[in-house]
Every structure is written in structure tokens, then in C-alpha cells.
Amino acid sequence: ASRRERGDRAGIAKGLDTISLVHQARGNYSAALAAVSESLELRREFALVHPIAESLNNIAVIYEAQGDYAQAARSLREALALNTDKVGSASLNLEIQTHLGAVLLRQGRPTQAIQLLTAAVAAPGATAFAFQLADARYTLGRALVAGRRLAEARTVFDQALALRDSQHDREGRALLL
């Protein structure tokens, strides 16, 4: 396929993702899933790793909203494996790991969530993504509470808040300059 055709299909896939979000916001999960699944197939045609992982993450959001945590976890594990096996985005990996940790918590599996999220927040380069790292730490704190490790949870929650505050301070200073 030509470069233009690939660009056109990438645009169509992005549009389908947007349509999926609209359907999801309206509670029409079957239409949302159909749109994002079509987007995923377009992206698979061109083996676009990062966008495929994003589509799988979006599919997991839909399954999670429907209470199908097992299917959400499968989609997230596929996204993570795909994005990790290739030259993936560290930011997207952290987002997917955080999402998977939250799904594991909803499944009543705090020990697995703690293991996953502890590795995620310690991953090389994670500190470069303050908002995602703060979310990961917050979700880790929730997992620690569920696992009855309250002292550790308090420390992790404090770290998450400090990251959020420092990011907001940096953005505020940038606006003033």
C-alpha cells in the first residue's frame, strides 16, 4: 500500500476510535466495541504497534465498563506484550500496566496488582511521565490498601500526590513565562 493509503487508513482508524468513544459515552457498548474493533483491524493491516496497543487498551476500557474484567485483562495483556516486545512507548506501557492493575483489583486480585504496579513504577524511564506515574502510584496505593498493607499504601499515596503537585507547579510556571 502506498504511503498516502496508509495515512488515509490511519486517519480512518483514528476516526473510528472517536466514534467508539461517543458510543461508549452514550452507553452503547456494542457499537463502541464494533468501531474500535474495526480500528484495530485497520491498524493490524499495517502492523502499527503503538496504535494497535492503544486500540487494545480502548477495547479493554469497554469490556471493563461492561463488567467483563477477564476480557479486559486479556486485551490489556495482549497490548502490553505487543508494546513490550517491540520498541514500544514507555508512557503507553505505564498506562496499560496501570489499567491492568486496576482491572486486577476489580477482580479481587490485589497481590497480582501489587506485583505488576510495583514493577511498573520502578521501570526505567517511568519518572519521565509524571501524570502516568502518579496514576500508577495511586492505583498501587489502592492495591496495597486492598492487600491490607496500609503503612506502605500511605507512603505510595503521598508519592502520587507529590508527583501531581510538582507537575501542576511546572505547568503553572510554564504558563507564566
pLDDT digits (tens, 9 = 90+) for 124-154: 888 888 889 999 999 999 999 999 999 999 9
What pLDDT is stored for residue 9 in this prediction?
81
* Count of residues in the chain: 177
Q: How far apart are CA 54 and CA 5, in angstroms?
A: 21
Report the C-alpha dihedral over residues 91, 160, 102, 125, rounded to 10 degrees: 20
Coil vs helix vs strand at 148: coil
pLDDT of 102 strictly over 80: yes
Mean pLDDT of 148-175: 83
pLDDT tens for 76-97 read 999 999 877 554 578 889 999 9
CA distances for 102 relative to 3, 117, 127, 139, angstroms: 38, 9, 20, 6
Q: Which of 7-21, 41-55, 140-154 has the highest mean pLDDT?
A: 140-154
Report the C-alpha dihedral over residues 44, 49, 54, 57, rounded to 10 degrees: 80
Of the given ranges (2-6, 62-66, 110-114, 132-136), which has the lowest mean pLDDT? Answer: 2-6
Name the more confident of 164 and 149.
Answer: 149
